[in-house]
Copies of this chain bind each other. A is one copy, B any other.
Amino acid sequence: MSTDGLFAPIFTGDELLQATGDRAWLQALLDVEGALAGAEADTGIIPKPAAEIITTFCTGAGATDRFDSGQLGRAARLGGNPVIPLVETLTAVLPPEARGWVHWGATSQDILDTAAMLLCRRALEIIEADLDGLADGCAALADRYRTTLMAGRTLLQQALPITFGLKAAGWLIGTLEVRGRLVEVRSVLPIQLGGAAGTLAALGPDGPAVASRLASRLQLVEPLIPWHTSRQRVAELGATLGLVAGHAANIATDVALLMQTEVAEAFEPAGPGRGGSSTLPHKRNPVAAAATSAAARRAHALIPVLFTGMVQEHERAVGGWQAEWETLTELLRLAGGAAGRVRETVQGLEVDPNAMRDNLDRTDGLLMAERVTLALARHMDRSEARKGVQRAARSGTSFRTGLLADPAITSVLSADEVDRLLDPAGYLGATSTFIDRALQAHRGG
């Protein structure tokens, strides 16, 4: 089993690589030809025995073994897509009574588009499973670290205390939203059947009935009209995969930043050889984060190919359609791969609450400046309050000492009140509410 060589496995898991590989594409194409023959027999357009032969041949075990995908790909140079040589080969190897009924009334794009939707549905199910696992992992973190204090950081600067549970709750909500959108998009993946110019003319009056049967056999949606040059579905699919990749990279980047030598608050799961450096034994590299980030960058760049591809000339495009095939494959692999790697990261995340607390304490209370300012502002003008806090912050001593040395401050706040104000655990606002909401959405989703 060769799963796509030197680089692809770094970014994508084996299951998804196979679900989007040449064999999977071939099988999807054959599935469509088989289902088409079946649908046409259902509606009396072609003889049932012929259809049965075709369906059995196309969907039986080892169906793809009869084809050499590299040879089909090279043969496809002549006609511009692999369905043409596939149908030729299929016609050649079927028995005479079935031969003439293969691909009846269809155009290459019908087969390729429907196969693409089939392949996407299968791949999206794998990705959804990873998103489910990711959501579970986030929920577990949100729950477990609900009160674990850490620094909230804005623009990479410590800003205010949060809890690690809140951060995980944010990841969780994001996962649920992205997953919800993915399910929406998957559940409306349609067949395409229009014939040579979108009229289904070759099927006579029964075209719509065949389309309906084809959709039913493949468990895809029947569109109102053929969408050969109306590609919003494909663009939306691409965008949704972009959401998956972006969300995964968002989490991965936070983890990579938390793993920094100087921060060291959370770590990708360890394991033999994992994240190691050949010459630097002390390192713990965020290798999954790097792969996730790289996958997301590449996935996001591909999105415009599908949007620009919406511009299709007349009844079939010169380029915009042909650019979709490998782009979709890559997007499934990169987005799904990112989801898989970040699931693994979140589910095995090593969290160091002590390091979180130590880092939080590094600024010696300064992180509570906003709280002190607001407390002072109840007794004086807000700009006066801010000035007082700034004097204390720059006093050269600890923030607490600075505050307590300032008569303008001590005239309105006691030392006890100052100490209470400087306790980060008391300044978490709606943190707990937000975590509850996220966990409830997860349970309810």
**A319 contact set on B, CB distance < 8 A:** 249, 289-294, 296-297
A26 within 8 A of B: yes
Per the bound structure, the CA–CA distance linking A166 and B194 in Å amounts to 12
**A316 contact set on B, CB distance < 8 A:** 153-155, 159
Per the bound structure, the CA–CA distance linking A22 and B8 in Å amounts to 11
Per the bound structure, the CA–CA distance linking A366 and B279 in Å amounts to 12
B153–A389 contact, CB under 8 A? no
- From 77 to 98 in chain A, residues with beta carbon under 8 angstroms from any chain B beta carbon are 77-82, 84, 87
A236–B181 contact, CB under 8 A? yes
**A200 contact set on B, CB distance < 8 A:** 429-430
A44 within 8 A of B: no
Given contacts A313-B254, A327-B298, contact A236 B232 (CB under 8 A): no
Given contact pairs A99-B382, A162-B199, a sample of 8 additional A-B residue pairs in the complex whose CB atoms are under 8 Å apart: A7-B25, A7-B329, A78-B276, A198-B434, A249-B319, A279-B370, A297-B319, A302-B302
Per the bound structure, the CA–CA distance linking A291 and B79 in Å amounts to 10
A157–B371 contact, CB under 8 A? no
Per the bound structure, the CA–CA distance linking A78 and B105 in Å amounts to 45
24 contacts between A and B (CB under 8 A): A4-B73, A7-B73, A9-B73, A9-B77, A100-B381, A107-B278, A153-B313, A153-B315, A154-B314, A157-B283, A158-B283, A159-B196, A199-B429, A230-B250, A236-B243, A242-B304, A243-B307, A279-B373, A281-B369, A282-B369, A289-B318, A298-B326, A301-B301, A303-B303
A107–B279 contact, CB under 8 A? yes
A363–B261 contact, CB under 8 A? yes
A221 within 8 A of B: no
Given contacts A359-B262, A377-B100, contact A235 B243 (CB under 8 A): yes
Q: How far is the CB of A127 from chain B (nearest CB, A)?
A: 15
Q: Which of B173, B230, B301, B310 makes the CB contact (< 8 A) with A173?
A: B230
- From 300 to 349 in chain A, residues with beta carbon under 8 angstroms from any chain B beta carbon are 300-305, 307-323, 325-327, 329
Closest B residue to A159 by CB, please name it: B197
B261–A157 contact, CB under 8 A? yes
Q: Mark A162-179, 1 if CB is under 8 A from B, else 0.
A: 100011011001100110
A246–B232 contact, CB under 8 A? yes
A207 within 8 A of B: yes
Q: Which of B177, B224, B260 makes the CB contact (< 8 A) with A262?
A: B260
Q: Which of B3, B70, B431 makes the CB contact (< 8 A) with A70?
A: B3
Q: Mark A1-20, 1 if CB is under 8 A from B, else 0.
A: 11111111111001000000
Per the bound structure, the CA–CA distance linking A294 and B377 in Å amounts to 35
